[in-house]
Structure 1
Amino acid sequence: MSGASPPRLASGTRLVLASHNQGKLAEFDALLNGYGITVVSAGQLGLPEPEETADSFTGNAALKAVAAARASGLPALADDSGLCVAALGGAPGIYSARWAGPDKDFPGAMARIHEAIGNDEDRSAWFISVLCLAWPDGTLRTFEGRIDGQIAWPPRGAQGHGYDPIFTPEGETRTFAEMPEAEKNAISHRARAFAAFRAACLPS
C-alpha cells in the first residue's frame, strides 16, 4: 500500500474483477450492487489469467489484481480463496482450484477430499478469502475473511459453486450449496472480506 490516504472507489468507477470464474462474477455483481460500480471481468476484457505462483492467498490475490490493473488501466479487484481441511493439514488451501484441474472438475475434487479424510473423525474445515484491490499506479489494499465449519458427505445442494456442496458453516445444518444465494453471501468468507473492503474502499 502506498500513500498516507489510499483512494476509495467513486460511484461511476469501472472496476475489473480479476477472474474468469462466472460464479465469482455473479457473486461480486450482487455484492457491489447499489454502489454505482460497474464490474467487468478479466475474461470479458480478454485478459490472460496469470499463473498463481505465490505461496499464500494474499500473494496470489495481489498477483492477479496487479496484472489486471496494469493490463486494463483500471482499478482491479482480485479474490484468492480456498477450502482448508484440518485433517489434511490445511489442504487443498491455495491449491483449491488446482485440485479441480483444468476442466474445473469440482465433483472430482470433492471426492478426493472425502477419500483423503478417510475415517478421520476431525471434519473441521474453513474457507479463507483474501481480496486485493490494485490501482494502475501500484497502490494495493488487502482484506481477509474466514468462516469455519465442517466437511459434509455426500455433497448436498445445487446453489453456489466450487466446494460449496460439502461445506457446512458453524451453526448450520445446510451446506453453502443448500442456502439461497443472498443468505450465503451474507455470511460467507468472501462476504466477511468484502465487509472490510466495503468499509475502506467503497462510497459511503
Structure 2
Amino acid sequence: MARWEPNASQRLADAALELFAERGYENTTVLDIARRAGLAKSTFFRHFRDKREVLFGEDALTERLTTAIAAAPAEAAPLEAVACALDALGRDVFTPARRAFTVRRRAVIEANPDLQEREALKGVRLTASVARALADRGVPGLVARVAAELGALALEIAYGRWNDQDCTEEFGVIARRALGDVQKAASATRGHPGRSR
C-alpha cells in the first residue's frame, strides 16, 4: 500500500459513517473502517484518535468560531460578532459539499444515546469557547455568556434546518435567520407574562 493516500481523512470518515449506518456504531471497529476505506489501520490512527473522533472532531469548529469572533469588527455588538462566526461556519465548515456527510452524521448520533450525550457535551464546550472569545473582546462576563448561549441555540436550530432533506439554502443564510428568530423569541419573553394558577 502506498505511504501517502490522497484524501485519506475524508475516505475514512465516509467509510465510518457508511458502516455506522449499516452495522451500528457499537458494531463497527477501527479495522472495519480502515478496510472499507481501503487503507491500513495505522492510517486511521494518523488521522483520528478513535472512532468517536470521526463524529466529534471539534477543534476545527471551535477554532473557526473563535477566530471569526476575534476578527469581527471592533464596533460589533456581541450577537453581531456571533453572527460573523456563524457566517464563517457557512463559508468554511457547513458547505454544500459537506451536507451529505452531516446528514449521515446526525442520523448516526440520533440512533445512539451515548453519542447524543457526547454531542451535548460538545455543545457545552463550544458555548464556553464562544463566551471566552467574546470576553476576550471586552464583553462583560454575563453578557458574553448570554450571547454565547443564544448563539449556540441559533447554531443548533440552523444545523437542524440545514440538515433537512428539502433544504436548499446555504448554512449562513439559515444561521442568520435562526439567530434573528432566537433574538425575537428572547424579546417576546419580556412581553408575555406567565399564566398564574
TM-score normalised by the shorter chain: which range applies? Answer: under 0.3
Is the radius of gyration larger for structure 1 or structure 2? 2
Q: Which structure shows the bigger proportion of residues in helix conformation?
A: 2
